[in-house]
Structure formats: C-alpha cells, structure tokens
Amino acid sequence: MNTLPVFTVVNDEITNFLQALAKQSEEQKLFQFLNCLDETYASQRSQILVMNPFRSFEFVCSIIQQKELRK
C-alpha cells in the first residue's frame, strides 16, 4: 500500500499547495451543483459562471434560494 510522507514542518509552499487544493475542491463542488440545476436556473447559472473570482458554494446557494423565494 502506498503511504504519504509525514510532514513535520509546514512551510509556505505546503500552505499554498493546501490552499490551492481547497480552492479546487470548492470549485469542483460548485460545478457539480450547477450542473445538477434544471433549466429554470439557466440565467442564474450563467451569471454565476462569469463571476470572477468564483464565489463560494454558500454564496451560490443563497442566489438559488433567492430565486426560490421569488417564485
């Protein structure tokens, strides 16, 4: 079985790598969520995808919730 090395010192390079990994994971979760939305949310999905930088998953959920409340 492959094992990962144990880090005893966390330097800036490792910290930056972990932050980039977390950001990538958040973006992946966001894309999966957006892909599951039906065409009712096409306008919101388009607006979210052009936002720069990408917003948090929680922010995107709040946009969808606002649309639901307006129905």
Instruction: Kindly report, residue by residue over 2-42, the tens digit of the pLDDT.
Output: 888 787 888 999 899 999 999 999 889 899 999 999 999 99
Report DSSP state, residue 40: G
End-to-end CA distance of the chain: 53
Long-range contacts of 20-26 (CB under 8 A, 24+ apart): 26/54, 26/56, 26/57
**Range from 2-11, 33-42, 46-55, 61-70 carrying the lowest mean pLDDT:** 2-11
The pLDDT score that the predictor gives to residue 1 is 66
- CB-based contact 30:58 (threshold 8 Å): no
CA atoms of 45 and 48, how far apart (whole Å): 5
- Domain boundaries, given as residue ranges, for the chain: 12-70
To which H or E segment does residue 34 belong? helix 12-36
